[in-house]
Amino acid sequence: MLKRILAISLFAVALVVLTTGINAGGDKKGKVKDKKDDPKYNNPTFVPTADEVIEKMFEMGKVNKNDVIFDLGCGDNRICFMAAKKFGSRGVGIETNPVRIREAMDMFDKYNKDDAIVFGPVKLPLVETRHGDALAMKDLKDATVVVMYMFPEFMDLWFPIAEKTLKPGTRILSHDYSWTKGWEPVATATVKSSSRDNHKVLMWVVPEKKK
Ligand SMILES: C[S@@+](CC[C@H](N)C(=O)[O-])C[C@H]1O[C@@H](n2cnc3c(N)ncnc32)[C@H](O)[C@@H]1O
């Protein structure tokens, strides 16, 4: 009898371990999530770039209506909305955190009320906000300007992608941070805002490919 109870208990434990093991990697519907789909970098720190710094980025990058701006880790995507309003340029912001995507949708409502999104004959909304990984963008080559406020760990992961994908002449503007190994900046500036007086803006221009 004791042997039988022991055998049943062992079977029950084995079943629990097996089931938990399967659910640990899956969602509520039981679909197993593949670890390879997780972003390599996903630091959720959100500090919006101050307006004064954004204006400086626009000035240094000579942003204009022909530009397509990509904001990597866009937060509420304010930078793309500001550029659309000011210049009529197109913008794509990408962000991993769904809370920020919600905020970007509110931002869209705010700017849309101003009639600032649609300029002239362009019928598409000028600004797009995507929920996704900035290290896995398929259309990065379409950017003429890339902006970011990301830690060096991200920038180091992104640099080889930039080197391979971006068109020569594309301007890259970063708030405060740089990669540790890559192109040298062509310009830097220090900017004051209401929160601090030492924001850094760095700009790189993608060089011609070496033959
Ligand atoms: C410091 S905020 C900058 C927001 C905005 N670009 C700005 O300058 O105002 C960085 C944002 O990057 C997002 N982020 C982190 N890793 C990411 C990744 N791999 N892909 C897309 N977004 C990411 C964070 O969730 C955060 O909202």
Q: Which of 38, 40, 41, 42 to mutate to test the pocket of ligand 1 (most atoms within 8 A of CB)?
A: 42
Q: Which of 37, 38, 41, 43 to mutate to test the pocket of ligand 1 (most atoms within 8 A of CB)?
A: 43
Report the nearest-CA residue for atom 11 of ligand 1: 73
Q: Mention the CATH class of domain 51-205.
A: alpha beta
HEC profile for the chain?
A: CHHHHHHHHHHHHHHHHHHHHHHHCECCCCCECCHHHCCCCCCCCCCCCCHHHHHHHHHHCCCCCCCEEEEECCCCCHHHHHHHHHHCCEEEEEECCHHHHHHHHHHHHHHHHCCCCCCCCCCCCCEEEEECCHHHCCCHHHCCEEEECCCHHHHHHHHHHHHHHCCCCCEEEEECCCCCCCCCCCEEEEECCCCCCCEEEEEEECCCCCC
8 A C-beta contact, residue 173 and residue 201: yes
Q: Which of 40, 41, 46, 175 to mutate to test the pocket of ligand 1 (most atoms within 8 A of CB)?
A: 46
What pLDDT, on the 0 to 100 scale, is given for residue 38? 85
Does 90 sit in the ligand 1 pocket, CB within 6 Å? no
Which residues, 6+ apart, have CB-to-CB distance to 33 below 8 Å?
A: 25, 26, 27
Does 149 sit in the ligand 1 pocket, CB within 6 Å? yes
Which residues, 6+ apart, have CB-to-CB distance to 166 below 8 Å?
A: 140, 141, 143, 146, 172, 206
Does 54 sit in the ligand 1 pocket, CB within 6 Å? no
Does 43 sit in the ligand 1 pocket, CB within 6 Å? yes
Taking only the tens of pLDDT, the chain with its 211 residues reads 545 544 444 444 333 333 222 223 233 344 455 666 789 999 999 999 999 999 999 999 999 999 999 999 999 999 999 999 899 899 999 999 999 999 998 888 777 765 544 444 344 578 899 999 999 999 999 999 999 999 999 999 999 999 999 999 999 999 999 999 999 999 999 999 999 999 999 999 999 988 7
What pLDDT, on the 0 to 100 scale, is given for residue 113? 64
Does 71 sit in the ligand 1 pocket, CB within 6 Å? yes
Report the nearest-CA residue for atom 23 of ligand 1: 73
pTM: predicted TM-score of the whole model, two decimal places:
0.82
How far is ligand 1, taken at its centre, from the CA of residue 205, in Å? Answer: 22
